[in-house]
Amino acid sequence: MDPSDLQRPELYINRELSQLEFNRRVLDLARDENVPLLERLKFLCIVSTNLDEFFEIRVSGLKQQADYGSLQAGPDQLRAPDQLRRISEVTHALVVEQYRVLNEELIPRLAGEGVRFPRRADWDGKLADWVKRYFNRELLPVLSPMGLDPAHPFPKILNKSLNFMVSLEGKDAFGRNSGIAIVQAPRSLPRVINVPESYAQGPHDFVFLSSIIHAHVGDLFPGMKATGCYQFRVTRNSDLFVDDEDVEDLLRALKGELPSRRFGDAVRIEIADNCPPEMISFLLAQFELGEDDIYQVNGPVNLSRLMAIHDLVARPDLKYAPFTPSQPRRLAGDNDIFEIIRKDDLLLLHPFQSFTPVVDFLRQAAMDPKVLAIKQTLYRTGSDSVIAQALIDAAKKGKEVTVVIELRARFDEEANIELADRLQEAGAHVVYGVVGYKTHAKMALVVRREERQLKRYVHLGTGNYHARTARLYTDFSLLTCDVAICEDVHKVFQQLTALGRPGKLRKLLQSPFTLHRSMLTLIRQEADAARAGRPARIMAKMNQLTDPTVIGALYAASQAGVRIDLIVRGVCVLRPGIKGISENVHVRSIVGRLLEHSRVFYFFNGGEPLVFLSSADWMERNLYKRVEICFPVEDKRLLARVVEESLHNYLSDNTQAWVLNADGSYRRLTSGAHKQRSAQQALLDEYCG
């Protein structure tokens, strides 16, 4: 078949619609009665958080394309206006179902467990009195209602802030009344408030801040009558634009750009479902939005804030059972981490195995007088990063500390700018990678003097140096002193911090240079083996799969007879199961308690399997526009472990697995007559039991 036939648009699923399908799977967990109740509420909130980012970045980008008349399209060839129409249809249905689950399933079941959200109509006198006092004490002094008139134009509304549009009758002391006022909720106050037990029916009664404002909004307009109060929330374009080629100082440019994120172009408005049409039209005009951009909801417009309930309610029986990540036996006791690595490579699977050895690796390096230099990439680290502190301590002790910070890590820009300033103040060398390419690789290099020679030690990972997400995301860490790998990492740091061509890498694959080409070569080798009648197999696990050249190579391998099993958590634009094209490709998504984040690539390779771990997905941005690292697992024992734990284990899951159909929809697997198997639970039992 002509390779161009494998690029036909009907062979590809739209990227944005695939992203929305992922959110359907998350919402399915909010409906799942086998999931603890408070965790179900948390999954519901995650859907809202995901949709926020989806509109802030993906939808805003499509709107810009549509406004500029761009003809740009993905491999499915769907233009921006058509994508926006389909997104609106799918998302409106998704949001309706989300609020149905909240109102008809979760709130009644939570009430049955003593976690109540009493509606205003159900407040008894005691609770109503407490709400009144709370309003007068906490809200009235900080609220600034704005009546709209020529001297008070429609206010600037912050991205994702809670606001109220109030309709009024009567006139104020100056004889004014435009009929409309805007009230902006204080960002400093929680959106759900725990009612003191003496005023509640139990320890876990909550009222929404929006309900308190609704109940007493009339107090903000004395002498007038509030005839309606409608909460709303605007989502804005939050994608920062900095022209790398036109700025002299990326740090300064980003600092100047960050404030604009709060007031980018509006892309969506969420509003109470009882808001009158004329007021909706008024808001749409203010934000220059169309009918497809409005989402009327039966409940709080800021559902993501309900996430706080999970921590506020001390009910372990309504949550996942806690677990303690294990430590490898080799690390038992107070051991020298460098001595342990010298004996053998150390492979860790987080969060089932502790992230502490990675932290200890850097802490020991900071304190060890034999360590001369530390080099590290940082993408996301967290506000109180112990790893960042170790680097600061090392710099203060006079070690050569070089840190490559990716300032443009989306929504972490401000934290990364602050971290860059702290590291520089401590004496570390801080650079921001390569112009035009995000540095997404996760690697740390330690140079240590041992006897008369310098020895290198390396950490490579599939996830960020972030202690909190290391307890929530599944990722691999490799600690090694392999000479070739250490030399390769050294060369990559040379690329990032200096100029020139450090030379060919011996073991690592790297974006934007060798990773894409190498993956295509390995896929084609499996296809060649299958055509020759030899055994062939490809297995891969990743977050997203969108690159059309990789997908085309997978289609060709499928046609050659290669069995291909893909575990893709989120977006997948490949269509499996198409006769004559992809009937040998099987795609599943695992969505569960933990966020699947590791990238694992397996090739049968004539019976001598090749296994790679990577920071990169098979996406255009990872393969062409980022600095990424893909590293081999060469020790046969460790290789077998990776294949079993992260591939076979997940391919046998029948409780948290969704299978991708050719039409882009997903079907959740059920165990049927077979024994239930959860890949994540199997690993928790093995390592944390």
Q: Hey, what are 387's tokens?
A: 């790893």
* Mean pLDDT computed over 305-330: 94
* Mean pLDDT computed over 362-384: 90
Pick the range with the lowest mean pLDDT from 87-91, 235-239, 240-244, 250-254: 240-244
pLDDT bin (cut points 50, 70, 90) of residue 147 is confident
The CA distance from 424 to 401, in Å, is 10
Other C-beta atoms closer than 10 Å to the C-beta of 270 total 23
| Mean pLDDT over the full length of the chain | 91
pLDDT of amino acid 247: 41
pLDDT bin (cut points 50, 70, 90) of residue 245 is very low
Other C-beta atoms closer than 10 Å to the C-beta of 527 total 22
Q: Hey, what are 601's tokens?
A: 């690539």
The closest alpha carbon to 281, from 289, 324, 273, belongs to 289
CB 238 within 8 A of CB 55: no
Eight-state DSSP code of residue 437: B
pLDDT of amino acid 242: 45
The CA distance from 583 to 620, in Å, is 24
Half-sphere exposure of 657 (CA within 13 A, CB side): 25
CB 624 within 8 A of CB 512: yes
pLDDT of amino acid 417: 76
The closest alpha carbon to 618, from 11, 194, 15, belongs to 15
CB 456 within 8 A of CB 481: yes
Q: Hey, what are 220's tokens?
A: 């903000």
Judged by DSSP in three states, 180 sits in strand
Q: Hey, what are 256's tokens?
A: 């100047």
Q: Is 124 exposed, middle or buried (0-12, 13-18, 19+ CB in 10 A)?
A: exposed
Q: What is the CATH number of domain 9-318?
A: 3.30.1840.10
* Mean pLDDT computed over 591-620: 97
* Mean pLDDT computed over 622-645: 97
- Quick one: residue 686, left, alpha or beta (phi over 0 = left, psi -120 to 50 = alpha)? alpha
The CA distance from 682 to 349, in Å, is 13
The CA distance from 619 to 556, in Å, is 18
pLDDT of amino acid 433: 77
pLDDT of amino acid 368: 95
| Check whether domain 511-688 has CATH 3.30.870.10, yes or no | yes
Residues classed as catalytic: 440
Torsion angles phi and psi, residue 262, rounded to 5: -70, -20
The CA distance from 372 to 455, in Å, is 10
- Give the residue with greater pLDDT, 73 vs 397: 397
The CA distance from 402 to 395, in Å, is 9
Q: What angle do CA 484, 469, 426 make, to 5 degrees?
A: 70
pLDDT tens per residue across span 399-408: 999 999 887 6
Cα dihedral 83→85→88→91 (10° resolution) = -50
Cis peptide leading into residue 81 (ω within 30°): no
CB 412 within 8 A of CB 385: no
Amino acid at 670: T
Q: What is the CATH number of domain 329-507?
A: 3.30.870.10
pLDDT tens per residue across span 335-359: 799 999 999 999 999 999 999 999 9
660 contact partners, CB below 8 Å, separation of at least 6: 568, 572, 576, 587, 588, 589, 666
Other C-beta atoms closer than 10 Å to the C-beta of 250 total 17
The CA distance from 163 to 555, in Å, is 50
Given a cut of 70, is residue 641 above it in pLDDT? yes
pLDDT of amino acid 185: 94
pLDDT of amino acid 152: 73
pLDDT bin (cut points 50, 70, 90) of residue 254 is very low
Quote the radius of gyration of the chain (alpha carbons, Å). Answer: 27
pLDDT bin (cut points 50, 70, 90) of residue 153 is confident
- Quick one: residue 408, left, alpha or beta (phi over 0 = left, psi -120 to 50 = alpha)? alpha
What crossing angle do the helices spanning 60-68 and 80-100 adopt, rounded to 10°?
A: 150
pTM: 0.93
pLDDT of amino acid 659: 98
The closest alpha carbon to 687, from 333, 448, 350, belongs to 350
* Mean pLDDT computed over 353-382: 93
Q: Hey, what are 268's tokens?
A: 């969506």
Percent of the chain scoring above 90 in pLDDT: 76
Given a cut of 50, is residue 244 above it in pLDDT? no
Amino acid at 637: R
Residue labelled with tokens 């003097």 = 449
Q: What angle do CA 650, 656, 662 make, to 5 degrees?
A: 85
381 contact partners, CB below 8 Å, separation of at least 6: 387, 388, 415, 416, 419, 464, 465, 466
The CA distance from 50 to 24, in Å, is 11
Amino acid at 230: Y
Judged by DSSP in three states, 523 sits in helix
* Mean pLDDT computed over 319-341: 90
pLDDT of amino acid 674: 83
The CA distance from 422 to 378, in Å, is 14
The CA distance from 194 to 199, in Å, is 10
pLDDT of amino acid 248: 46
Eight-state DSSP code of residue 655: S
Eight-state DSSP code of residue 323: -
- Give the residue with greater pLDDT, 548 vs 239: 548
Structural domain spans, the chain: 9-318, 329-507, 511-688
Given a cut of 60, is residue 256 above it in pLDDT? no
